[in-house]
A and B are shown apart, each in its own frame.
Chain A
């Protein structure tokens, strides 16, 4: 065991730090992101992605031959953590870089790689992921959006939901049903779809927290050339699984920094706010609650480090992602609740401290649902790690 960084990991970190110092935008995300600044905000995020690209920091996890950096898993984690520490803008192209790009690299044709990969890295093209449907959430393979072959095209009708970035995306990795007579995993096809095609309507959905990052998509006689298929026709499920395994390989490495900042700020409130005439931090019950928040968070960090170390050795993302996702989503909900308790009556206000804590509380509610519910994560752990029988 040696938890220190190796000389090459330190070099990677120090170069990145220096680069960030020189290249971070003058304005932070928070300063640019206001309710009515959508266009300006996207331009801001696009220019940030371009800077990362020019600096050689787009697609750090991608192989070098496709324009990536070929970084180790530990370097990828350093990258995420350093960006979070520097309070860098969010990555608008997360779906493209984290999910679609690696899928195209794994199963796409040479032509598809040439056409799509550069745009993902440069940030010129934003992707979304058309998977979930109203009747196909956790049971994704039950999806119903229908594609019927007509000459060289598929004609697509149906609906997708919870599609992050669809309102700004240029392209979509879309999974459709091409053979309704086959078993549910067998009749699917994955397509690379131009979002400007006629027949696509996008309707933003608002979250209970007030965010509107995700959408509904409706398809009415949308025509997509058959040559836009990625993988084989009727083998779209394996493509979707490739994409999802990349989603699950994400260990949540940047999240510790975000959560730690939150907890530090909560502790700061606990020092200043009074309970029974004393600072909240000196209230024995709240002190225990806060210490529990601290324990859960610090153990998350250690879990992340250990998972990374294992991933670095095996090279193959396993079920660690499910364990990490289950852990951090429930941790974030518990700690958001403890923050509300520290606030006392101020938890009634969605303006107190800029509304930060009410927002965190409401937004965290979605954490155990998005990107695989806690129930699905527990199923995966039980079945793939512990070897218990499939329950469905």
Chain B
């Protein structure tokens, strides 16, 4: 039994951290987050060249053939750096296409970063539960016609292709929509977290051929579920990197800031906040890396493991961010201090792919509504 990163994974962690500290200092994060898309072509190319967009996907699909744990290692470092711009949208889209239609011509450009992708799932009044989807896909000759609105679509503004989750005759339908198609309108939404951009996508009589439909019915539902699980781990690992940064910043500040003639880290009230931050961060780490491992090695436990990780880490991340600001006092509440970047990214990640209450509901269904499994 070994529940630690392997040597190659530790190397990956180091090279990722090195790359981001070189290419993505906070100054650059702030510059990019002030732009419309937060996209920097050099930063995008650096990430794409490493193969990180498809690190967990098969080599035939242009991926590196590693696992979700490796993807989580990269995502954790992105969270630690507050990496701005598109990544999540393309990773989600690539994972979804790989699961829904592994032979699709769309897949390789997404995994190699030659194109950018997004997945349009949410609508007004829906959550991340695919059962809520109302958006209609109607038959149009041999092809398909789409009309309606999707919202909070991650990275849609830079995407070349958006996979729209719709409801058709055969249940769920996954339709790949090139963003240049007539009738596609993409509008930015002002986000709480400026480092990752969100958009509203409105489709008006968008007509596509039959080959645009990647999967329908059960196959579509299964592929979507898998892609949601992977994307949830990516966001959770991103939160973990943020927690680690905030913890280190708070401890560092507590060691230097003086009040009443002493460093504030001498005070137990401050020490105990830091100790709790460590406990929440490390517990999140256990849950998130287990989820990443289960997605590849223990598929029957994957849904439970992912919800466990997101339920725990969503609360933990918020509390770590709160304590981080509290330890810093006034300076932690300013625009000038980099804590604000992490505070907002943490809040957005808490909500993305379902907050703790959402995942507790999923867990209740998994754990309480069927007979308890044997413990061992």
Contact = CB atoms under 8 A, between A and B. Distances in A.
* A, B assembled together: yes
Interface of A: 1-6, 9, 74, 81, 85, 257, 260-261, 264, 267, 270-271, 281, 287-288, 290-292, 294-296, 298-299, 302-303, 305-306, 308-310, 312-313, 323, 326-327, 375, 377-379, 381-383, 385-391
A184 B196 CA distance: 56
Nearest to B267: A391
Contacts of B69: 1
Nearest to A305: B3
Interface stretch (B209-217, B332-340, B357-365): B357-365
Contact of B357 (A260, A270, A288, A390): A288
Interface in B269-305: 270-272, 274-276, 278-279, 282-283, 285-287, 289-290, 293, 297-298
B114 interface: no
Contact of B375 (A74, A257, A377): A257
B368 interface: yes
Contact of A295 (B268, B270, B311): B311
Interface in B308-352: 308, 311-312
A342 B271 CA distance: 35
27 contacts: A1-B6, A3-B3, A4-B297, A257-B375, A287-B361, A288-B357, A291-B367, A292-B360, A294-B367, A295-B311, A295-B360, A302-B290, A303-B282, A303-B283, A303-B286, A306-B4, A306-B286, A309-B1, A310-B4, A323-B278, A326-B275, A375-B268, A375-B272, A381-B279, A382-B275, A385-B275, A388-B270
A378 B272 contact: yes
Residue picked from B5, B274, B293, most chain A C-beta under 10 Å: B274
Given A298-B308, A386-B274, A1 B5 contact: yes
Contact residues on B (Cβ < 8 Å of other chain), bracket: 35 or more
A294 B304 CA distance: 11
A9 B375 CA distance: 18
Contacts of B311: 291, 295
A390 B263 CA distance: 11
B364 to A, nearest CB: 4
A56 B271 CA distance: 44
B363 A391 contact: no
Contacts, number: 156
A4 B298 CA distance: 10
Contact of A3 (B255, B285, B293, B375): B293
B3 A299 contact: no
Given A295-B311, A382-B275, A3 B267 contact: no
Contacts of B272: 375, 378-379, 382
Nearest to A256: B375
A60 B350 CA distance: 43
B218 to A, nearest CB: 27
B122 interface: no
Given A1-B293, A326-B279, A313 B361 contact: no
A288 B297 contact: no
Contacts of B290: 3, 302
A15 B222 CA distance: 40
A87 to B, nearest CB: 12
Contacts of A375: 268, 272
| 3 A-B pairs with the lowest CB-CB distances in the bound complex, closest first | A382-B271, A291-B360, A309-B3
A116 to B, nearest CB: 33
Given A1-B9, A291-B361, 8 more contacts: A2-B1, A3-B297, A291-B363, A302-B290, A303-B286, A306-B286, A382-B271, A388-B270
Given A323-B278, A387-B255, A309 B308 contact: no
Residue picked from A257, A264, A291, most chain B C-beta under 10 Å: A291
A340 B266 CA distance: 38
A389 B263 contact: yes
Interface string B245-280: 000000100110000000101111011101110110
Nearest to B9: A1
B307 to A, nearest CB: 9
B124 interface: no
B376 interface: yes
A9 B367 CA distance: 28
A307 to B, nearest CB: 9
Contact of B275 (A3, A260, A386): A386
A388 B255 contact: yes
Residue picked from A290, A308, A313, most chain B C-beta under 10 Å: A290
B125 interface: no
Interface in B164-191: none
Contacts of A299: 283, 286-287, 308, 312
B363 A295 contact: yes
Contacts of A74: 1
A377 B375 CA distance: 29
Given A378-B275, A389-B263, A302 B287 contact: yes
Contacts of B363: 291, 294-295
Nearest to A390: B266
Contacts of B274: 381-382, 386, 388
Contacts of B286: 299, 302-303, 305-306
Contacts of A6: 1
B308 A295 contact: yes
Contact of A4 (B1, B312, B368): B1
B71 to A, nearest CB: 13
Contacts of B255: 387-389
Nearest to B290: A302
B364 A290 contact: yes
B278 A386 contact: yes
Contacts of B364: 281, 287-288, 290-291, 294
A290 B372 CA distance: 14
Contacts of A287: 360-361, 364, 368
A290 B368 contact: yes
B42 interface: no
A325 B365 CA distance: 30
Nearest to B271: A382
Contacts of B3: 1, 3, 302, 305-306, 308-309
Contacts of A260: 375
B47 to A, nearest CB: 23
A381 B272 CA distance: 8
Contacts of A3: 1-3, 290, 293, 297-298
Nearest to A291: B360
B271 A391 contact: yes
Contacts of B361: 287-288, 291
Contacts of B1: 2-6, 9, 74, 305, 308-309, 312
B88 to A, nearest CB: 23
Contacts of A386: 251, 271, 274-275, 278
A189 B357 CA distance: 54
Contact of A267 (B265, B356, B372): B372
Contacts of A257: 375
